[in-house]
Structure 1
Amino acid sequence: MAAIYMRMLGYTVTLTMHGFNMFLMNNLLQGPVMEDPNIRTFSAMYKRFFTVWTMFLQIFVASLGLTSDYLTLKYSNKKEPYWLGVMRSMKNRLFAAILWPTVFLVSTFFWSLYHYDRSLIYPLFADKILSSTANHILHTAVVPLVVWELVFQPRSVPKSHAVNVAMLTVYMSTYFFVMYYTYLEKGVWMYSIFGIAYDTNICFPLIISFIGVMLYIYYHMQWFLTQIVWQPQAKIKM
Structure 2
Amino acid sequence: MAAIHMRMLGYLVTLAMHGGNMLVMNSLLQGPVMEDPNIRTFSAMYKRFFTVWTMFLQLFVASLGLTTDYYTLKYRNKKEPQWLGVMRSVKNRIFAAVLWPTVFLVSSLFWSLYHYDRSLIYPLFADKILSSTANHILHTAVIPLVVWEVIFQPRSVPKKHGVNVTMLTVYMFAYLFLMYYTYIEQGIWMYPIFGLAYNKHICFPLIISAIGVMLFIYYHMQWFLTRIVWGSQVKIKK
Shorter-normalised TM range: over 0.9
Q: Distance in 2 between matches of 1:140 and 1:172?
A: 21
Post-superposition CA distance 1:76-122 (Å, at most 9, x none):
11011100000000000000000000000000000000000000000
In the alignment, residue 170 of structure 1 is paired with which amino acid? Answer: V
Q: 1:201 aligns to what SS in structure 2?
A: coil
Q: Distance in 2 between matches of 1:134 and 1:204?
A: 29
Q: Count the aligned residue pairs.
A: 235
Q: Could you say which residue in structure 2 is the equivalent of 1:73?
A: 73
Percentage identity across paired residues of the two chains: 83
Shift of 1:3: 0.2
Q: Distance in 2 between matches of 1:188 and 1:134?
A: 24
Post-superposition CA distance 1:173-210 (Å, at most 9, x none):
00000000000000000100000000012100000000
Q: 2:232 aligns to what SS in structure 1?
A: coil
Post-superposition CA distance 1:22-45 (Å, at most 9, x none):
000000000100000000000110
Shift of 1:233: 1.8
> Is the counterpart of residue 210 in structure 1 residue 213 in structure 2?
no
> Is the counterpart of residue 159 in structure 1 residue 125 in structure 2?
no
Shift of 1:232: 3.4
Q: Distance in 2 between matches of 1:27 and 1:234?
A: 47
In the alignment, residue 127 of structure 1 is paired with which amino acid? Answer: D
Post-superposition CA distance 1:39-98 (Å, at most 9, x none):
000011000000000000000000000000000000011011100000000000000000
Q: Could you say which residue in structure 2 is the equivalent of 1:107?
A: 107
Q: Could you say which residue in structure 1 is the equivalent of 2:225?
A: 225
TM-score (normalised: structure 2): 0.98
Q: Could you say which residue in structure 2 is the equivalent of 1:142?
A: 142
In the alignment, residue 45 of structure 2 is paired with which amino acid? Answer: M
Q: Could you say which residue in structure 2 is the equivalent of 1:122?
A: 122
**Gapped regions of structure 2 (runs ≥ 5):** none
Q: 1:232 aligns to what SS in structure 2?
A: helix
Q: Distance in 2 between matches of 1:232 and 1:153?
A: 14
In the alignment, residue 204 of structure 2 is paired with which amino acid? Answer: F
> Within 5 Å, which residues of 2 pair with 1:29-108?
29-108=29-108
Q: Distance in 2 between matches of 1:198 and 1:161?
A: 32
Shift of 1:234: 4.1
In the alignment, residue 205 of structure 1 is paired with which amino acid? Answer: P
Q: Could you say which residue in structure 2 is the equivalent of 1:132?
A: 132
Q: Could you say which residue in structure 2 is the equivalent of 1:19?
A: 19
Q: Distance in 1 between matches of 2:197 and 2:97?
A: 28
What CA RMSD, in Å, does the superposition of the two structures yield over aligned residues?
0.9
Q: Which moved more, 1:226-235 or 1:64-73?
A: 226-235
Structure 1 segments, 4+ long, off by >2 Å, are none
**Gapped regions of structure 1 (runs ≥ 5):** none
